[in-house]
Amino acid sequence: MRVSNLYKNNKNVISMEFFPPRNEKAAQNFGNIVDNLSAMKPDYMSVTFGAGGSTREGSYQTVKQVMIDKKQPTVAYIAGFGLGPDDIKDVLDKYKDLGIETIFVIRGDKPRDDKFVPHPDSFSYASEMIAFIKKNYNFTLGCAGYPEGHIEAESLEKDIEYLKLKVDNGAEYVVCQYFYDNQFYFDYVEKCQSKGIDVPIIPGIMPVYTVKMTQMLSKVCGSKITEDLQKELDAIDAEDKDAVLNTGIQFAANQCKGLLKAGVPGLHFYTMDRSKSTTEIINQLRQSGAL
């Protein structure tokens, strides 16, 4: 399954992202979560890859589970920070043998393990790794975009220059970091297109799952909690899990309606290995005729 063909031939492509289960209990629940979301008939699912290859085997097994056991069109991530060319080839060879045709390429973060020593020939930027993979493999490649700018970027404009390099080196589609104000995305797409970036740019959707998680991810990812969202969260008890979840579902559903009305190529849901929010959002969109 080549994601670039989906965006060429379809409207409103729905994709969902997972990370490898982090413990045995999570692994036991994971299959049910994928089953629940498979019922929504997404166009594809993607599986992340831990910093420094920390989830290398877990990522492979999760990709295999989603693709082979659950029979879902699947995209495999690779995060290359600290990995040498041979390490990257080893990962990609296994995905190729599995039948994966699309790889989502990110630089990734530095592992938290103080003992981690990056390979001396590791790639410093995702654009370099994309060029390397493009030269050695026939995968369709995707990359990440940041409507509010990457948290380490000196400016949004500079970050868009880096995105242009990733596309020039072979990335065929872009999935955005999540945002809570659609205008960030619309402005970003306009700026990207003005720089000659003509591949599909897909909005990322992160429903509010808990207030604590939302606050933590905002700091880590640089995605602002907007005034409108903050007002909605302030109006409910942060300890009332159902109220928080329902607020997040409704806010994200309204976001998606605005995005779909504007004609976006698709929606990419960051599921955080949960199924209720994404399921209810998609159901709302379909029942309302937005999707």
Catalytic residues: 17
- Residue 77: CB atoms within 10 Å: 23
Centre a 10 Å sphere on the Cβ of residue 38 and count the other Cβ atoms it contains: 16
Contact assessment for residue 9 and residue 265, using Cβ atoms and an 8 Å cutoff: no
> What is the rounded CA–CA span in Å between residue 64 and residue 97?
11
Q: Could you tell me if 209 and 272 are in contact, meaning their C-beta atoms sit under 8 angstroms apart?
A: yes
Report which of 215, 217, 200, 230 is spatially closest to residue 272, judged by C-alpha positions: 217
Query: In angstroms, rounded to a whole number, what is the distance separating the alpha carbons of residues 214 and 247?
Result: 12
Give the Cα separation of 97 and 210 in Å (integer): 39
Distance CA 202, CA 265 (A): 6
